[in-house]
């Protein structure tokens, strides 16, 4: 049964915004992490026109185009700015390259000298193309008639961005980063502090350009010991949320502390986020009762069940919907969509959620 409310302001009719203000909208709004990307032939066609991934993120016409591609196919409830969490270290002046098939490569920051090369005064200028993209996406959503699609801006959360800055690449366990945090906490604190400030500035600029919701991706939050989780995940997130709320009291923040396990309870209670993203491994029946009633949940279909499609995907999707019915909930994956996903499985999934 659909629950409907009459609300005065037109933007409040957007399902995603209503859920983020605590309403149990049903059927729930739906979008997919990494919804723009390599599983779409139209994305691969645009990607082939630029020399590298950073050029795609910093060319507003192209970044706008790829942001809109999944919206045109599936009329999702949210469009997410096409960019990357590593655009911030790049904007700070740390070198960044995306090697084909290898992922990101950066010169690692493991001492004061390397840290000293970062320059926060460059962030506004270097990220100006991202803000232009945000403006263009908002204008295009209106022009193309996607009145109920909400625009999400985002950044990496400080700990996850620090992981790539210190490690210099992706990693299974970010051992060099975690070792530095134990051995040289004053340097690691300075890195986190710089990221709290610049992330707040970068997200504020996205709101001023037209982002309606913000998301903080903390993809590697789960590699930390509990005491470090509090210091490097909860506390930095809380400070960013407080600073944003002072400036933009109506802009909700979704936090995604991936693989955090039972620490998600403290995260949801203490950071001030409006919604918490739940990863694939989270048992909704156990986790959801731990969350404050005012905090919405987002998640958590296994991206590989979406690759499989058919009965496996349908059963899993129905189980998630049954567990979340009646609560403020945003249907999503438990992590990003993978390149081998058949686009027609995505269409079937969206249809199933909307029929619930
Ligand atoms: O075209 C290509 O080959 C580049 C692949 C790609 C894409 C499409 C990368 C490189 N980043 C992105 C876009 C992206 N990344 C978006 C916007 C698109 C959308 O959601 O529709 C977002 C929100 C991200 C966020 C991101 N980047 C995260 C957090 C979420 C997560 O998946 O955990 C992380 C950890 C990154 C780093 C990154 N960027 C790209 C890659 C391959 C990686 C992972 C590197 C690793 O293995 O650790």
Spans of all domains in the chain: 3-354
The DSSP code for 9 is S
SS3 188: helix
Residues in the chain: 356
Predicted confidence at residue 292, as pLDDT, reads 96
Residue 346 has a pLDDT of 98
Give yes or no for residue 154 CB within 6 A of ligand 1. yes
Tell how far the Cα of 282 is from the centroid of ligand 1, in angstroms.
21
Active-site option among 47, 135, 190, 354? 47
Q: Is the CB of 103 under 6 A from ligand 1?
A: yes
- Other beta carbons within 10 angstroms of residue 345's beta carbon come to 18
Q: Which residues contact 161 (CB under 8 A, 6 or more apart)?
A: 85, 86, 88, 89, 155, 195, 199
Q: What is the rounded distance in angstroms from the CA atom of residue 350 to the CA atom of residue 139? A: 25
Taking the centre of ligand 1 as the mean of its atom positions, its distance from the CA of residue 139, in whole angstroms, is 24
Q: Is 47 a catalytic residue?
A: yes
Whole-number pLDDT of residue 102:
81
At 2 the pLDDT is 46
| Fold of the CATH domain 3-354 | TIM Barrel (3.20.20)
- Nearest 5°: CA angle at 185, between 204 and 95? 55
DSSP track, 47-76: HTTSSSHHHHHT-HHHHHHHHHHHHHHH--
d(CA 344, CA 168): 36
Closest residue by Cα to atom 29, ligand 1, is 217
Q: How do strand 103-105 and strand 150-156 relate by DSSP bridges?
A: unpaired
pLDDT at residue 1, as a whole number: 41
Q: What is the pTM of this model?
A: 0.95
Nearest residue (CA) to ligand 1, atom 39: 84
Q: What is the mean pLDDT of each run of 10 residues along the chain (356 residues)?
A: 47 88 97 97 97 96 98 98 98 93 93 98 98 98 97 98 98 97 98 98 98 98 97 98 98 98 97 98 94 96 98 98 97 98 98 97
Dist. CA 140 → ligand 1 center (Å): 23
Cα–ligand 1 centroid distance for 153 (angstroms)? 14
Question: What's the confidence (pLDDT) of residue 7?
Answer: 47
């Amino acid at each position: 049964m659909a629950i409907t409310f009459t609300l005065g302001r037109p933007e409040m009719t957007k399902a995603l915004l209503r859920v983020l203000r605590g309403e149990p909208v049903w059927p729930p709004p739906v979008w997919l992490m990494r919804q723009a990307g390599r599983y779409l032939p139209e994305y691969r066609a645009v990607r082939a026109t630029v020399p590298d991934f950073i050029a795609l993120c910093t060319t507003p016409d192209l970044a706008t185009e790829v942001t809109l591609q999944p919206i045109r196919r599936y009329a999702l409830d949210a469009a997410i700015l096409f960019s990357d969490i590593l655009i911030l270290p790049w904007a700070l002046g740390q070198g960044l390259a995306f090697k084909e098939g290898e992922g990101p490569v950066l010169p690692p920051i493991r001492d004061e000298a390397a840290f000293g090369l970062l320059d926060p005064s460059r962030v506004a200028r270097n990220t100006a193309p991202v803000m232009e993209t945000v403006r263009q996406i908002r204008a295009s959503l209106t022009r193309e008639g996607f009145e109920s699609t909400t625009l999400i801006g985002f950044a990496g959360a400080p700990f996850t961005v620090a992981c790539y800055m210190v490690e210099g690449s992706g990693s299974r366990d970010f051992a060099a980063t975690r070792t530095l945090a134990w051995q040289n906490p004053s340097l690691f604190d300075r890195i986190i502090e710089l990221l709290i400030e610049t992330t707040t500035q970068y997200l504020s600029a996205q709101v001023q350009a037209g982002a309606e919701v913000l998301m903080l991706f903390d993809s590697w939050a789960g590699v930390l010991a509990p005491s470090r989780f509090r210091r490097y995940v909860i506390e930095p997130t809380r400070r960013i949320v407080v600073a944003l709320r002072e400036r933009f009291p109506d802009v909700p923040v979704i936090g995604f502390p991936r693989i955090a396990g039972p620490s998600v309870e403290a995260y949801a209670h203490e950071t001030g986020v409006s919604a918490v993203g739940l990863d694939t491994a989270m048992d909704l029946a156990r986790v959801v009762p731990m969350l404050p009633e005012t905090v919405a949940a987002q998640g958590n279909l296994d991206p590989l069940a979406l690759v499989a499609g058919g009965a496996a995907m349908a059963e899993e999707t129905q189980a998630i919907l049954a567990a979340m019915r009646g609560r403020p909930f945003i249907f999503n994956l438990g992590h990003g969509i993978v390149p081998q996903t058949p686009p027609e499985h995505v269409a079937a999934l969206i249809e199933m959620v909307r029929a619930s």
